[in-house]
């Protein structure tokens, strides 16, 4: 990779533990 730098590459569905989207984090994953 010479020309392009990856800034973010993301590594459970629907457990419902998270708070009542873009800035939220999954509490279970944390």
Partner 1 sequence: MVHVFHYQDHYYIFDTGSSSLHECDEKGALLMREKLGEAVDTSCVTPEERAEYEADFAELEKQGLLFKEEVKVWPPKSNEVKALCLHICHDCNLRCRYCFADEGAYHAKREFMSLETAKKAIDFLIENSGDRKVLETDFFGGEPLMNFDVVKQTVYYAKEQAAKRGKKFLFTLTTNGLLLRDDVADFLNEEMENVVLSIDGRKEVHDAVRKTANGKGSFDLVIENLKNFVKIRGDKHYYVRGTFTSKNLDFSKDVLFLADNGFDSISMEPVVTDIPDLWITKEMIPEICAEYDRLCDAYLKREAEGKGFNFFHFNVDLDGGPCLSKRVSACGAGNEYFSVLPNGDIYPCHQFAGDKEFRMGSVFEGKLDEALRNKFKNSCLFTRKKCDGCFAKFICSGGCSANNYHFNGDIDEPYEITCRMMRKRIENGMHILAVRKAEEEKR
**Total binding residues for partner 1 by CB under 8 A?**
28
Distances (CA, A) of 25 to 2, 9, 13, 18, 20: 32, 15, 13, 8, 12
**What is the nearest approach in angstroms of partner 1 to the Cβ of residue 15?**
8
The footprint of partner 1 on residues 9-28 (CB under 8 A) is 9-26
**What is the nearest approach in angstroms of partner 1 to the Cβ of residue 27?**
9
Contact, 17 vs 28, CB < 8 A?
yes
Site for partner 1, rule CB under 8 A: 1-26, 29-30
């Amino acid at each position: 990779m010479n020309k392009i730098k990856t800034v973010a590459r993301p590594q459970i569905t629907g457990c419902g533990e998270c708070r009542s989207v873009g800035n939220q984090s999954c509490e279970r994953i944390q």
